[in-house]
Chains A and B, each alone.
Chain A
């Protein structure tokens, strides 16, 4: 079965975060800057990953993390791929907002990283790319690059791309309770062309991820895209929970 490989110290799961730090991330949502909400959600997610990996006082190296921040340049926040215990020792960085949204550059960086690391991750869970943005790209179209990334893979399955689109302008119908939201499907009415593009740049959620999300209290339905409208802190949190839903060895 695809996407069933357990994240373990012998077969660690790679999660790549690509975080938009354009100037608009300074705008406020629910009384806080968007960037701060994102970083809080990321911090909570990393804590949850560490929670899952900790046995006694030992953090098992079941996850590897790479983290890019991008605006008109791409910044490798962790200096490459780091095991989760190293990330825990670093703590969660504070990101600063910058200027534009060169989405193509960050996807090129992700593609480059995967080309280097995938050969040695053949028996590991399929890597996941979690892209968080709040605006349209300002450079080249990132979709072809995203499609190339989704075509990459290992024995567990193709690389997964998840998009968290921090915007109020995605869905026609508001989401009142993230815990009961079924997710974005083919028939979901998206309000902008860019949202539709992000949908095409998103993988469908594997069943194993969906089950893990159900255990976390979310009702994502089979076949949903790994794309979330991050128009509230709860939904942004949900997006990050999705990113760490790799099945893990107990």
Chain B
């Protein structure tokens, strides 16, 4: 048994075209990618597989579920394997038996295909955030909705199988008979085939004589605009392509696939869908910027229509002669399918079959395409230099923000222009793995503090000098506002002064040289009050005390060089600016031991 297989290429457009004449039934099919998919040069998630012998034809149209794990994988696998299975399936049995057999096959296919999904590498996927999302999708599996058709000339039976919302329509003698033949059936979006679960929802099946219809059509939901067209089965391939091109302007532009099979003998097929003129010829001069499109002339034709159909557009022009001179630049660089037809007194002739033409690419175009490809690959991972701060707003709208140019979605531009770099103040800590930097800084500060104690700590141990901590003073040079600080665990462990800031009301700072003074709570409260006096209305019902305010812990009984009585204390120093320069993020505050006048 000689089996012929035709499967659409998911990486490129297949314009609606007639199938080979070796097939036992006439069919035509087409596939196109959505605007976004084509723009990013991804695979279509639709796929059609048509397989036939001398007496049988099976076809499966699949629409991968975009929110599943690479729905195109499921679509490709399912369309091929299900068509293959149906082509060899005896359909003399009753429908219930066939239903169980096909369902068992699909469940079994899931278990084998799930391994492909599990092993699908995500190593080259960036950023990591996307990778983690895809891992979640992998867990749910790769999914597709589908319709399958099996036509058998030997038994004169037709088997339809489907799950999901791909359309399935039937006609008999120019009248649509879908409701009559499939009145009790449903096409639900949530029903599908999944690599992890097999059939989700119901597997639908219908079995009836081939004579019940003469045309059957299936298409994915991306072509839902055909739903309202009652005689679409009679329309030409070019007309269907025109509908396909229209879907690209929709907000919900989706991959589209189209399949039509007819059981009629060739002489009774609708003229628009079958009869075709020979292809046109494309000739290009060696040094010319033009190409010539030429076709056989006819005395009956008054004028000609030529269409150029590509993934990026559909164009039609009228010509008075059977030759047209077109600038190469007017033809899509990825190539275009060309067709023509004539206008006579009696109306239009049928369209010709497609002729594909791709203009030769110049070195400059190749370079441009390379840069475009790179842009596409890296588009989801633009490196941002840093977060930027919104200019301070003082009760009125920000004038600086007014300088931003708003994006346009009218087609002129769909990307935002980069705003001018403003002062780079990091209000947040960008996710990073810079713990070692924190640890290093913490170590340096620790050494600094330890060294300070070795220098200044001698007199603190004199037994004749009483130590007391009556209150905490706020040095005048400490700014009232400190930027947000993210304390890492490492920093908190090695920086006792910062730990004290975080837990000022409960802990005794380790930097207290005496160590026996346990009443440092009061000073912290003093500072809090001081802040309240200087801040905006303290009506904030925030339930926690401000955690980032700085405090000092002091030891009295010192004198400075001039003899003024001082206390020994810890002076916080805001190293925010320094850290921003070094690490592009705020880290901690450090402190130093110094004398404060009393």
Contact = CB atoms under 8 A, between A and B. Distances in A.
Interface in A10-28: 10-12, 21-27
A236 to B, nearest CB: 16
Nearest to B43: A56
Interface string B481-501: 101111000000000000000
A138 B537 contact: yes
A54 interface: yes
Contacts of A112: 393, 397-398, 401-402
B548 interface: yes
A79 B548 contact: no
Interface in A137-155: 137-140
Interface stretch (B207-215, B277-285, B408-416): B408-416
B543 A101 contact: no
Given A47-B133, A91-B431, A68 B390 contact: yes
User: Which residue, of A5, A89, A139, has the highest number of chain B Cβ atoms within 10 A?
Assistant: A89
User: Which residue, of B485, B536, B537, has the highest number of chain A Cβ atoms within 10 A?
Assistant: B536
Given A51-B136, A112-B401, 13 more contacts: A9-B35, A11-B409, A54-B137, A57-B70, A72-B481, A85-B380, A86-B384, A90-B430, A93-B387, A96-B429, A99-B546, A100-B540, A135-B543
Interface of A: 5-6, 8-12, 21-27, 46-47, 50-52, 54-61, 68-69, 71-83, 85-86, 88-102, 104-105, 108-109, 111-113, 115-117, 119-121, 123-124, 134-140, 194, 249-250
A108 B537 CA distance: 19
Contacts of B537: 138-139
Interface stretch (B122-130, B228-236, B310-318, B362-370): B122-130
Interface string B382-404: 11100111101101111001101
29 contacts: A8-B252, A21-B484, A23-B545, A23-B548, A24-B540, A24-B544, A27-B544, A52-B67, A58-B36, A74-B390, A77-B427, A79-B387, A85-B379, A86-B382, A88-B130, A92-B129, A94-B430, A94-B431, A104-B395, A105-B393, A112-B398, A112-B401, A116-B402, A117-B407, A119-B406, A135-B540, A135-B543, A136-B540, A138-B538
A109 B393 contact: yes
B380 A138 contact: no
Interface of B: 35-37, 40, 42-43, 45, 66-67, 70-72, 125-130, 132-134, 136-137, 189, 221, 251-254, 379-384, 387-390, 392-393, 395-398, 401-402, 404, 406-410, 414-416, 419, 425, 427-431, 481, 483-486, 535-549, 586
Contact of A55 (B37, B398, B410, B541): B37
A6 B251 contact: yes
B223 to A, nearest CB: 14
Contact of B384 (A79, A96, A97, A119): A79
B174 to A, nearest CB: 33
Nearest to B122: A57
Nearest to A249: B252
A50 B251 contact: no
A46 to B, nearest CB: 8
Contacts of B429: 93-96
Contacts of B427: 69, 75-77, 95-96
Given A88-B130, A250-B252, A22 B540 contact: yes
Nearest to A105: B393
User: Which residue, of B381, B392, B547, has the highest number of chain A Cβ atoms within 10 A?
Assistant: B547
B414 A61 contact: yes
A194 B133 contact: no
Contacts of A82: 416
A246 to B, nearest CB: 13
A51 B139 CA distance: 13
A76 B356 CA distance: 51
A228 B251 CA distance: 32
Contacts of B130: 50, 54, 57, 59, 88
B24 to A, nearest CB: 35
B543 A27 contact: yes
B428 A69 contact: yes
Contact of A77 (B137, B380, B428): B428
Contacts of B414: 9-10, 61
A210 to B, nearest CB: 19
A193 to B, nearest CB: 11
A77 B384 CA distance: 12
Given A8-B252, A47-B136, A51-B67, A56 B72 contact: yes
A80 B404 contact: yes
Closest A-B pairs by Cβ, 7 of them: A75-B427, A24-B542, A96-B484, A76-B390, A93-B428, A79-B388, A135-B542
B158 to A, nearest CB: 30
A47 B406 CA distance: 26
Contacts of B484: 21, 69, 71, 95-98
A33 B67 CA distance: 33
Nearest to A19: B428
Contacts of B254: 249-250
Given A109-B393, A250-B254, A56 B42 contact: yes
User: Which residue, of A10, A54, A99, A105, has the highest number of chain B Cβ atoms within 10 A?
Assistant: A99
A74 B415 CA distance: 25
A250 B67 CA distance: 8
B37 A249 contact: no
A8 B130 CA distance: 18
A8 B544 contact: no
Nearest to A90: B384
Contacts of A6: 251-252
B409 A120 contact: yes
Contacts of B547: 23, 26, 97
B428 A80 contact: no
A53 B329 CA distance: 34
Given A51-B133, A99-B546, A73 B392 contact: yes
A17 B33 CA distance: 34
B540 A138 contact: yes
User: Which residue, of B134, B390, B407, has the highest number of chain A Cβ atoms within 10 A?
Assistant: B390
